[in-house]
Structures are given as C-alpha cells and as structure tokens.
Structure 1
C-alpha cells in the first residue's frame, strides 16, 4: 500500500512539474509486476487504477525492479508515511452529521 501511494504521488508530482518521461524504481517486485503487466491487485485496485490513469498522461513511464539494498531510504520513508497515515486515521473522530428538518 505504501509503495502504491508513493508512486501515485510521484506521478502527480511529475505531471504538475511538466515531466513527460519518468522511470520509477521499486524493490516491491509484486507491485512492479502488477504495473508492468497491468495486473490487478485486489487490495490496492483503486490506487492502481489511479496510477494507470496518471501514467497514461505521460509520454513514457517505466517501472524497474531493484534490490531492497538499493532502495533503503525510499523504503524507510514509505514505511514511515504509512505508519503516520494509519495513526492519523485510527485517531480520527469524524464530525457527527445532524439531519434536521428545514
């Protein structure tokens, strides 16, 4: 999940900055396989849909699998971001919706 969210953010950033060609490297082999072959992963279907849509707006997007030893910093940042996100969601108290008569 963290990997998919990071890649979606990277694609958004690339589009905002006007990039036309990008290469995304990841140590998550299952994710790279899913992106390269456009396979569906049930748990992250919506995010994969967003990624495919964003990627189609760029001229070239390549997904490359790299060893985890070469991706330590990015992997650590993604895990921290996921933990912060989960922590925020688990402590979120949505406002009550009051339905009244007009």
Structure 2
C-alpha cells in the first residue's frame, strides 16, 4: 500500500478515534497535494457535526431557560429541540458512513 493512500485513509478513519485533530495534523505534516486534499475534506466533514452540535447545545440552553420549556407552557420549542436532535444524530451518522466510504475509496 502506498504511504499517501494510507495517510489519506487515516484522515477519514480518524472520525472514529480522533476527529478533526488527526486530519489537521496530517494536513500540515504531509508534503503531497493528494494527501492534503483528502485530509482537508476529512477535516471539514468531521468539523460539521461538532459545529452543529455546539449550535444545537446553545439553542437547547436558551430554550431550557426560557418560559417555554422551563414551565412547560410552550410545546413548540420542545418539539423543535427533539427534531433538532434527531437531525443532528442522523447527520452525524451519515457523515460517519461517508468518511468510511471515502477511506475505502482511497485505499482502492
């Protein structure tokens, strides 16, 4: 196996053990453009669930401390928080599968 293929695949597979940190390190250490390209894609794909999770958490805290959820008078926000969590979970799962598929494609 070529070393560049291995580093590229490792960037994608790092979603499961060192998300967004390892692709960033490989991006700055690697000299080949193909490895940098794949690790940049891996970094962005692994950063998306983290950023969306932070946004979701901020909205959750805001809604939790407003009258709507704290006093259970507004079920609209509770529904949106649940829907947001489901969307975040499905998106994260989809990105995990995408990273696995990309790693397999790189190794071929």
Question: What TM-score do the two structures reach when normalised by structure 2?
Answer: 0.31
Higher CA-based Rg: 2
